[in-house]
Chains A and B, each alone.
Chain A
Amino acid sequence: MSPQPQAAVGAPLSRVDGRLKVTGKAQYAAEFDADGAVHAVIVDASIGRGRIISLDARDAEQHPGVLRVISHRNAPKLPYRDNSGSNNMPGRRLRVFQDDKVLFHGQPVAVVIATTLEAAQHGASLVKVRYDAKKPSTDLHEAEPDKPTDYARGDAKAGLRNAPVRLDLTYRLGRNHHNPMEPHATIARWDGNKVTVWDKTQWVVGTRDEIAAVFDLPADAVRVINPFVGGGFGSGLRCWPHTIVAALAAREVKRPVKLVLSRKQMYFGTGFRPSYEYRLRLGSDRRGRLSAATHRIDSETSSYETFTEGVMAPGQMLYSMPNVSQAYRTVPLDVNTPIWMRGPGFASASFVIESAMDELAHKLGVDPIELRRRNEPSEDEAKNLPWSTRRLRECYTVGAREFGWDRRNPKPRSTRDGDWLIGLGMAAGVYDPGRYPAQAQARLHADGTAVVDAATTDMGPGTYTSQTQVAADALGLTMRAVTFRLGDSLYPQTGPHGGSSTMASVGSAVLDACNQVRRQAIKLAVEDRESPLYGVPADDVVVRGGRLHVQGNPARGETYKSLLARHDRSHLEARGNYAGPPTPERDSYAAYNATFAEVAVDATLGLVRVRRMLGVYDAGRIISPKLAESQAFGGIVGGIGTALLEHTVTDHRDGRIVNANLADYLVPVNADVPEVRAIYLDGEDNSGNALGVKGIGEVVQVGVAAAIGNAVFNATGRRIRQLPITAEALL
């Protein structure tokens, strides 16, 4: 951090954009007033794989209000320049309306553009498409995997063979959809060869680059705007086909076009957390000291792109053991491409590993927390690096105390409350946060207010607020005097808003920009004979409330306002930079948690109800405690969904998702979430960023599902090695 007094950072402030959100004035992607905008609705393929034989758009075209129907029959050829950025996956990305092939159920086959939404919707239903349908391959457990990505240390086979205690466990994890409340939406408007796109994205820069690549435009011909994002959880990390469809449609009809995905279209128009089959073999001695593990990890990807995530990492570094082997295989299916979802990879792996640790603890008669303590590594055994900070032991201690872990009866099915079986469970969590190069611009105006810009996003964690806190302290201004702007690709460039990277990356750039501006002002003052600060060493000057003064002597100083006025400066400004983490890595940097759950399971019906949850986090410095608490609650609630409710179900006969709506794809509602508590350990991690943060958005969901599953086992004695854990599975 800077030598500045910390007034805003660490204070439990309310959101700076709260008023906009509670009055309905925050504008999301579909809500911008592009003059004369018409509406577009996509027609989805109704087969899982095959070819379009014919597409009859006559009825649609004749429907009142319909302006145009675009399909592969009449779409212009799009350049689709190579773009290895923008979070595009290895492979060949889907090219909208460029041929007659259908790669998955729901793929866009046409778009209907009309003067009203009603006409576009009805028009889309009038497009008649005939297909040559093939049986799609959509079942992870039936299809042929790609070649594995391997990891090995020691000799896992021998280690397992020689282990006195062995477990061989296979877990199946259902597919999850992010389902942010705001459906993905795009408004596109062309002005000559330039296009402005209001788009629901977590990365305006990536979306800009992808649009530029698809239409073969220079990057500066594309501007992407999104000041508010109604949730993302990863679904906005890349530019999806519908955004291209909207831009194409707008170019064709020569009017701004608004395209909003229906909730149903969200299930195949954007990505998902892939389903997994994960076989874990563990070997330990009789005291629970781990000696070996083998991991065979299979997960879904599409037939046209290879999606991978950090699912291998926890198995390499969460616990100490000499022998590890891993094989991670993607399985190409006739589905659309997955995308990272909250706690990507780590959340899936942690369910398996943390459930298995609970199984081992039970088998050995060792307390689950004690088992984890016995296997706590002293360094990262995969990277052979020391930890920057790793305070899992404290997470266990604080969590056990605050949750009342000592009240847990280790014997399953031994605690009852009427018809309900009561159980307590816990799990550890880890997430390796992203850190990406980022820039920010800070400008201090003559009136003593400041504006700071960066092309980042706020999908809900509170980027507006927390970056304002960082900027306010570094500039020595009140929160009120600082405006932080984001969500415009014209602002200084940043990486994606995901992977818990934003505060470490963008925050560091903001801090740098604001520190520079403050130092410029201090320099002006101490070199100015007319300033009361003349001759004071620059390092001895701090700024508070817009007033520069000698540290420890508040009486001697002057305001930014008077300083800039005297120097006839309209503003001071600076570009801040964050270069990314040091390479090569000097230490192993990750955020950790211990999550605790108490559940009640109806003894006869198998119904699972969460009663209490607690998360204890080792996440470095917390910039904005009030908002950080909300994020933790959100991660826990997301984990409750993964554990007990969420499962995208595909009909393997035709590749159709049968529960592509919020009535059948169950997510937690208010009644599913009683008591939730979050504790962030005080501290900071100065390994890779000046703010001392580790990021919180992802780690808060990692381990939650395992904690709940372990509580279900403690309640019932039943080990459900699948997600979600449903009543049917428990009966």
Chain B
Amino acid sequence: MSSELPDSAVSPPSGAGESSSGPSRRTVIATGVAVGGVVVAGGTFLAGAEEATATGAAPSSRVSLTVNGTRRTVTVDNRTSLLDLLREHFDLIGSKKGCNAGACGACTVLVDGQRVNSCLTLAVRLEGAEVTTIEGLADGDRLHPLQQAFVEQDAFQCGYCTPGQIMSGVGCIKEGHTGSPEEIREWMSGNICRCGCYVKIVRALEQTAGRK
């Protein structure tokens, strides 16, 4: 399924101003290791922030990960979150930045099948990881059942939290936390909907989990 893409055009920042200062010193990344579903940064080797700065480049690393079935290898600023990698580099704007602090859930994606806040996940930790975003949920033109349920139940208004709600909902259903409306409410409470569509979000999950 996954296709190998060459190094993406994502480049770390060049030096101050717009000068191209030639090949800058790159940091070295060792093999990424995934242990028990938790992705561990595989000994990212920094040249040292001071040194990197002195040579005109921010510390960066190469990372290979699969996003929505496509294998991608990028060299990325070590400070880059998975969310910013998706939004600013891969042009996958579906994952939203609501708080950038793990408090609102708008950035929820699946990493190796688990729902995570992509704003709190550094991209360089994701060597070998499988990431699924809202853009990877539908089967071509056919919406995922939970996407369809959100439309039918009108489980959103402004739509900004919606990708995160849906990804979180997919995780919630998969985890089996849909036994009752109370259980759904509890396990969906990491995703804020400021438009207040909670009742309908619960209905959409119930519909999809086949309990209605």
Contact = CB atoms under 8 A, between A and B. Distances in A.
Contacts of A64: 13-16, 52-53, 56-58
B143 to A, nearest CB: 7
Contact of B147 (A23, A67, A636, A672): A23
A24 B101 contact: no
A432 B56 CA distance: 59
B201 A182 contact: no
A676 B197 CA distance: 10
B199 A676 contact: yes
A228 interface: yes
Contacts of B56: 64
Interface stretch (A12-20, A299-307, A318-326, A560-568): A12-20
Contacts of B16: 61-67
Contacts of B163: 22, 24
Contacts of A121: 79
A633 B199 contact: yes
Contact of B161 (A117, A181, A627, A676): A181
A631 interface: yes
B121 interface: no
A51 interface: no
Contact of A460 (B91, B159, B181): B159
B189 A119 contact: no
B48 interface: no
Interface string B67-104: 00000000001011000100110011111111111011
Contacts of A62: 16
Interface in A1-60: 14-15, 17-28, 31, 33
A23 B200 contact: no
Contact of B93 (A27, A461, A631, A671): A27
B101 A230 contact: no
A673 B156 contact: no
Given A64-B15, A118-B79, A668-B198, A21 B156 contact: yes
A317 B6 CA distance: 69
A377 interface: no
A117 B157 contact: no
Nearest to A465: B154
Given A24-B92, A670-B185, A670-B202, A229 B13 contact: no
B157 A630 contact: yes
B93 A31 contact: yes
A110 to B, nearest CB: 17
A726 interface: no
Nearest to B76: A118
A183 interface: yes
Given A181-B98, A182-B158, A459-B158, A23 B135 contact: yes
B129 interface: no
A64 B134 CA distance: 33
A206 interface: no
B86 to A, nearest CB: 10
B106 interface: yes
Contacts of A181: 96, 98, 104, 106, 158, 160-161, 192-195
A663 B103 contact: yes
Contacts of B188: 670
B185 A673 contact: yes
Contact of B159 (A228, A262, A627, A634): A228
Contacts of A661: 99, 101, 103
Interface in B140-184: 143, 147-148, 150-152, 154, 156-163, 166, 181-182, 184
B186 interface: yes
For B96, B143, B150, the residue with the greatest tally of chain A CB atoms inside 10 Å of its CB is B96
A386 B169 CA distance: 50
B28 interface: no
Interface residues of A, number: 74
For A121, A661, A673, the residue with the greatest tally of chain B CB atoms inside 10 Å of its CB is A673
A115 interface: yes
Given A180-B160, A230-B160, A627 B154 contact: yes
B61 interface: no
Given A61-B16, A67-B18, A231 B158 contact: yes
A707 to B, nearest CB: 16
A638 interface: yes
Interface in A631-680: 631, 633-638, 661-663, 667-676
Given A64-B53, A230-B158, A635 B14 contact: no
Given A21-B159, A630-B157, A670-B188, A233 B14 contact: no
Nearest to B10: A116
A626 interface: yes
Given A64-B53, A118-B80, A24 B95 contact: yes
Contacts of A20: 159
B157 A670 contact: no
Contacts, number: 217
A65 B193 contact: no
B192 A662 contact: yes
For A182, A228, A638, the residue with the greatest tally of chain B CB atoms inside 10 Å of its CB is A182
A635 B99 contact: no
A184 to B, nearest CB: 12
A613 B34 CA distance: 47
Contacts of A616: none
A576 to B, nearest CB: 26
B160 A116 contact: no
A635 B194 contact: no
A118 B84 contact: yes
A111 interface: no
Given A67-B18, A263-B99, A116 B77 contact: yes
Interface string B49-70: 0001100111000000000000
B166 A14 contact: no
A260 interface: yes
A22 B143 contact: yes
A630 B99 contact: no
B158 A229 contact: yes
Contacts of A116: 12-13, 58, 77, 88
A179 interface: yes
Nearest to B58: A64
Contact of B201 (A67, A260, A670): A670
B138 interface: yes
A555 B150 CA distance: 40
A182 B160 contact: yes
A509 interface: no
B43 interface: no
A210 interface: no
Contact of B160 (A23, A231, A635, A638): A231
B100 to A, nearest CB: 6
Nearest to A462: B157
Contacts of A675: 199
For A23, A115, A229, A637, the residue with the greatest tally of chain B CB atoms inside 10 Å of its CB is A23
30 contacts: A14-B151, A22-B143, A24-B95, A25-B94, A28-B93, A33-B91, A64-B14, A64-B52, A115-B14, A118-B77, A118-B79, A119-B77, A180-B158, A181-B98, A181-B193, A228-B158, A230-B160, A231-B158, A231-B160, A262-B100, A460-B158, A629-B154, A633-B198, A662-B99, A662-B192, A669-B191, A669-B192, A670-B191, A673-B185, A673-B198
Interface of A: 14-15, 17-28, 31, 33, 61-67, 114-119, 121-122, 178-183, 228-233, 260, 262-263, 459-462, 626-627, 629-631, 633-638, 661-663, 667-676
Smallest CB-CB A-B distances: 5 pairs: A24-B94, A637-B196, A230-B160, A65-B13, A21-B159
